[in-house]
Amino acid sequence: MIHAHPRLAMPPESRFLLALWRRRAELADLSTRQEHRRLARTITRRRSRLDDLGLDRRETVKAIMAAPPTLGSAFGTVFAEFARRHGKARWGDKRPLYYQEVDVLLRLFPDAQIVHIVRDGRANVASLKAMPWWPYDSIGAMAQWSHAEWCSRRNSRRLPADTFHVVRYESLVTDPRPVLGELCDFLEEEFDPAMLQPAEVREIVPERKTWHAKLDSAVSTDRVDAWRDRLEPWEVGLMETVLARKLARWDYPLSGAGPRPGPVRLGRYAAAVLARHGSARLRWWQEARDAAAGGYPVAAQLTSGQQERARRRGELLPR
């Protein structure tokens, strides 16, 4: 829907950003042209998921080399090239895992606007169970949804209204126009009716991603309650016990359809959630410590806002 807007580009998941961010100790210092070129070639290496963006490797390397020498500028240039290829003025990126990496995104792109989509946890678990790439069982999926909801509330509390925006999936598919209108207001863009026809730009998602087959169809609500037939009774019972307050917070009524869970499943769920919370807290602490330590700039310096921020911090670098 966002990519259907005439000014906004939203690529398929490339999934290179976080992986290379984790390697910033070896890649972030771009003080020499040699290191800058090494990063550009690492980003555009052959058989990478960047292939799905349809970009020419040589041209993308040249564009990265022409941008300011920071990680954020290099990453942003890739998406800017995708936007340019599609004749768009602005770009975005999407990946479910970003829900717990907002601090990283804002460190790389200080003027970024974050859109978080919330969906009924039961529908989310039912969907993940069918995904060939999902590595956990349904209890792991429940813990993941709980963790994502926790992160969303954390971000809502601490980020300004012009930085963080939440969209409720069920509201979006039930009546897309007002929800997309609010989204465009948040993005400071005019709503365009083309956003109501996302199937028209379905070609940006590779055909091999067969789990996105619904993109060929008009927006509908047929998956909103599909979880009722796709989840086992014990899964419904467990979710509606451990996530009752979270589901109610987003106006998802309980069905009461499943049995109360036993201690083994309750314990497995609790352990899975605590592990995710603990891992995220440790990573956030490490990220904050790293940011406070300073060092070579990592933030993008592509937009006027980014450049002004870098100038105020004394970090503005030449192109």
Q: pLDDT tens across 173-219, in order? A: 999 999 999 999 999 999 999 999 999 888 888 777 777 778 878 89
Residue 172 belongs to a domain: yes
Residue 88 contacts residue 215 (beta carbons within 8 Å):
no
pLDDT at 134 over 70: yes
Q: Which two tokens stand for residue 265?
A: 């499943």
* 238: Cβ contacts below 8 Å, ≥ 6 apart: 139, 142, 258, 261, 265, 266, 269
Q: Which two tokens stand for residue 310?
A: 């870098």
Report pLDDT for 75.
97
Residue 73 belongs to a domain: yes
Report pLDDT for 47.
64
Confidence band (pLDDT; 50, 70, 90) for 287? Answer: very high
For 148, the domain range is: 8-312
Residue 294 belongs to a domain: yes
Residue 76 contacts residue 109 (beta carbons within 8 Å):
yes
CATH number of the domain bearing residue 34 = 3.40.50.300
Q: What share of the chain has pLDDT > 70, as a percent? A: 98
Residue 268 belongs to a domain: yes
Q: Is the dihedral of CA 180, 181, 184, 186 positive or negative?
A: negative
Domain count, the chain: 1
pLDDT, greater one: 14 or 29: 29
pTM of the model: 0.93
Residue 182 belongs to a domain: yes
Residue 256 belongs to a domain: yes
pLDDT at 49 over 80: no
Residue 126 burial (10 A CB sphere; 0-12, 13-18, 19+): buried
Residue 177 belongs to a domain: yes
Biggest CA–CA distance in the chain, Å, is 63
Residue 130 burial (10 A CB sphere; 0-12, 13-18, 19+): exposed
Model confidence over 65-120: pLDDT tens digits?
999 999 999 999 999 999 999 999 999 999 999 999 999 999 999 999 999 999 99
Residue 1 contacts residue 195 (beta carbons within 8 Å):
yes
Report pLDDT for 262.
97
Residue 1 belongs to a domain: no
Q: Which residues of 241-280 are buried (b: 16+ CB within 10 A; e: fewer)?
A: bbbeebbeebebeebeebeebeeebeebbeebbeebbeeb
Confidence band (pLDDT; 50, 70, 90) for 133? Answer: confident
pLDDT at 220 over 80: yes
Cα–Cα distance for residue pair 123/170, rounded to 1 Å = 10
> What is the average pLDDT score of the chain?
94
